[in-house]
Chain A
Amino acid sequence: EAQVTQNPRYLITVTGKKLTVTCSQNMNHEYMSWYRQDPGLGLRQIYYSMNVEVTDKGDVPEGYKVSRKEKRNFPLILESPSPNQTSLYFCASRPRDRSTYEQYFGPGTRLTVT
């Protein structure tokens, strides 16, 4: 089954404790992206990757890091989480070909930073 998986699905942590949210897709997609969803703001892009070893900032990159060492994986790293990073996080992927309209979303990760 074609899918994007994220782990963990729920995470409660404390300020300053480094964490990683994993994202993996099994569709051989070149393009991957991270979004955060906050009430009243919709979803906003954090980082994206066009292919292995190619990453760039989205609209709200502060406080986040990413890496793309393998095509299927695109982890999101919070090296020193703060309460304003409490949010719902989505990973998404799609082929680079413009003829494919759809982005495939993971199930989301609910992060709470206390």
Chain B
Amino acid sequence: AQTVTQSQPEMSVQEAETVTLSCTYDTSESDYYLFWYKQPPSRQMILVIRQEAYKQQNATENRFSVNFQKAAKSFSLKISDSQLGDAAMYFCAYRLGITGANSKLTFGKGITLSVRP
């Protein structure tokens, strides 16, 4: 079974600084996707960034980028120029890339990020 591990329950960053959130996963599959979701106090699940396992290039979305190390099964999220609105819980998630099968997302436990003004 696939597992996703986020070992840091909480992190804090100074506004305008850079922070990296860690995630590791375990799978024997070769075709899969990885995601980072943001959950602000409103509880809405917001997709931050996604990475296809077959792509070697790391995904980037504005201030958010990932460091995808496939061999090490590591998928960290870097937030640059942190803003107060980045304060939230962040979940790392994994999904198999099989068409027609259960598109279940397997989530890590989440990490609470606080941003200091």
Contact = CB atoms under 8 A, between A and B. Distances in A.
Interface of A: 31, 33, 35, 40-45, 48, 50, 56, 58-59, 88, 90, 92, 94, 96-98, 101-103, 105, 107-108, 110
A54 to B, nearest CB: 11
Interface in B72-117: 91, 97-100, 102-105, 107-110
Given A90-B45, A101-B50, A48 B102 contact: yes
Nearest to B102: A48
- Judged by DSSP, the binding face of A is strand
Interface residue tally of chain B, by bracket? 20 to 34
Interface of B: 4, 9, 33, 35, 42-45, 47, 50, 52, 91, 97-100, 102-105, 107-110
A13 B94 CA distance: 33
A50 B100 CA distance: 8
Nearest to B52: A101
A103 B103 contact: yes
Contact of A42 (B91, B98, B100, B102): B91
Nearest to B42: A107
